Chain A
Amino acid sequence: MPILDTRDITKQFGGLIAVNQISMTVNKNEIVGIIGPNGAGKTSFINALTGIYKPSSGQVHFKGKEITGLPAYKIAKHGISRTFQNLRVFSNISVLENVMIGAHCRIDNPFHHIFLRPFRSKRIEHQAYEKVIVLLKNVGLEEKKESLAKNLSYGEQRILEICRALASDPELLILDEPCAGMNSAEMDTLADFVKKLRDEGQTIVVIEHNMRFMMAVSDRIIVMTEGAKFREGTPAEIRNDLEVQKVYLGEQEVE
């Protein structure tokens, strides 16, 4: 059974149909890529999945449960975690606190325990801290854990945002244009990192323009244009598809 299953997701903004009846599935331990020209509706589709927007119609099922239209914080608790196209780290606080906040919904520390079971409360918080430190070590940010997020390089902030998303032990990780603004060396590091995550069992949906990156990491690619699903296939199939090339060549002339 697929872990994520969307049926005819549609999102309208007034007269504009940003997402038009998208159905897709994501299996466990798979990396699904979504590509498409700017304005194709990729981000809107992700926003409709993660509770930023309520879908106008259609259903989202996650691990067999319907989660359509739930508020974002509940969807996060169900196990979907994401990053943002235009980077939304918490700039004015430390790297460590950023990632600790990412772990928020997995820290089992009810409010009254702060006063009624203070030792348990402290222990649980400390366990979370130790897990976060391991995570930071894995991505090479441990040395900078006390730096403010805004003082990291752009590439590091991208990594930090992914790290923050991973801190909630998501069953599905969604990355929205993780390579935007990265140089090619940073991009290769990121590709290796994403593949390593998959090898560790992580399920990922990734939106990205950079074809080299997408070909390297995706198991399956979905092409979107004008809100609708245009093609779906393996990276090789997509690369050799003449119509996809047309859509993309058109796009690159514009840029």
Chain B
Amino acid sequence: MLTGFFESKQGKWLLLGGLTVCLLLVPKFVTDIYILSILNMMIIYSILCMGLNLILGFTGLLSLGHAAFFGIGAYTTAILMTRYGFGFLSAFFASAVLAMLAGIVIALPTRKVRGDYFCLITLAFGEIFRLVATAWIEFTRGAMGIVRIPMPKIFGIPIVTETHFYYLGLGILIFTYLTLKAITDTRYGRAFIAIREDELAADTMGINTSLYKIMAFSIGCLFAGMAGSFLAVYQTVVTPSNFRLEESCLMIIMVIVGGMGRNLLAPLAGVVVLTVATEVFRSTAEYRMLIIGLIMILVLLLRPQGIFGSSSFKS
């Protein structure tokens, strides 16, 4: 009876509302800086993975370059705030827009090339981004990265402590969720899924598949740009090593482990599991990828659709 209620529309919103209230209350009970910092990293990955799910889970495009769009957002905010005196909000906005524009440009070839070639393009773009960030020293300060990114202020309120950043991040996360929910509940979300399922059939349903692939990809990148902007002010430092291929892979694994597709919140389960795992094994850095790989294999063996994925991905 209760489960029935929680599956109804009101029930779902009530559940989400309850969850939000709990998340808002977290800093009242958790004062440990270390734990808060882990929560903040989880928030950043959650924003990234929700966007990636639109690209991978809905539209079926494999992007190995998501970290580069994250990086574009981070560097945009870092450079605008350190050199051009931008405030956080305008830098945040610029980061999102620039990451989205880059997403549009990278997604343009999807009109012509097959999925596997597109995957290689995103891989190449990710590497090019990292190389440029490392080599273009005058602009990005190379491997040393951009440091002393100013403290962000939102409508005059300075964001200083881990708790402040927690609330800022949570705000961006909720915004991401609501935006993606609004989009995917319409014919646009269904069109993305149609492309994943059968692109030719989608075409004959009157879906301009080239355009929709670019849309899904660039919307996903928009949120990566927001996450990057947040990372920049949160860390106060950005370096090229924040945006390696390994990061892109980690995001994909998080989405798969959590569960891709319709359920927008499912990837967050993957974020939690993998962030905790990487923290626990932080001391054994060289085994990190091994542990991550093992987790992924374990989950895929036990629940092929991901922890919270719908059964539709079970073959």
Contacts and interface: CB of A to CB of B under 8 A. Distances in A.
Interface of A: 50-52, 71-73, 76-77, 81-82, 84, 88-93, 97, 100-105, 107, 109, 111, 114-115, 118, 121, 125, 128, 148, 164, 168
A82 B312 CA distance: 25
A72 B186 contact: no
B182 A115 contact: yes
Contacts of B191: 101, 104
A100 B206 CA distance: 12
B201 A104 contact: no
Contacts of A104: 187, 190-191, 194, 205-207
B82 interface: no
B205 A164 contact: yes
A118 B185 CA distance: 11
Given A90-B197, A93-B312, A77 B206 contact: yes
Interface in B203-237: 203-209, 215
Interface of B: 182-183, 185-188, 190-191, 193-194, 197-198, 200-209, 215, 311-313
Interface SS of chain B: helix
Given A90-B193, A91-B197, A92-B197, A72 B185 contact: no
Contacts of A125: 185-187
Nearest to A106: B206
Nearest to B262: A93
Nearest to A170: B206
B185, B207, B209, B313: which has the most chain A beta carbons within 10 Å? B207
A196 B116 CA distance: 45
B203 A121 contact: no
B205 A102 contact: yes
A23 B174 CA distance: 58
Contacts of A72: 200, 203-204
Contact of A93 (B186, B193, B207, B208): B193
A98 to B, nearest CB: 9
B188 A88 contact: no
A13 to B, nearest CB: 17
Given A92-B312, A104-B187, A118-B182, A71 B206 contact: no
Given A88-B201, A93-B312, 13 more contacts: A71-B203, A72-B200, A73-B205, A76-B204, A88-B198, A91-B197, A92-B312, A92-B313, A100-B190, A104-B206, A125-B187, A148-B312, A164-B205
A84 B202 CA distance: 12
Contact of A114 (B182, B207, B208): B182
A52 B205 contact: no
A73 B206 contact: yes
A73 B204 contact: yes
A171 to B, nearest CB: 13
A168 B191 CA distance: 14
Contacts of B197: 90-93
B204 A81 contact: yes
A8 B112 CA distance: 29
B186 A121 contact: yes
A89 B200 CA distance: 11
Contacts of A77: 206
Nearest to A149: B197
A52 B204 contact: yes
A229 B215 CA distance: 43
Given A100-B190, A104-B187, A109-B187, A82 B203 contact: no
Nearest to B189: A97
Contacts of A91: 197
Centre residue among B191, B208, B209 by max chain A CB count within 10 A: B208
A73 B191 CA distance: 12
B16 to A, nearest CB: 18
Contact of B207 (A51, A52, A105, A111): A105
B202 A101 contact: yes
Contacts of B207: 73, 101, 104-105
A45 to B, nearest CB: 15
B4 to A, nearest CB: 14
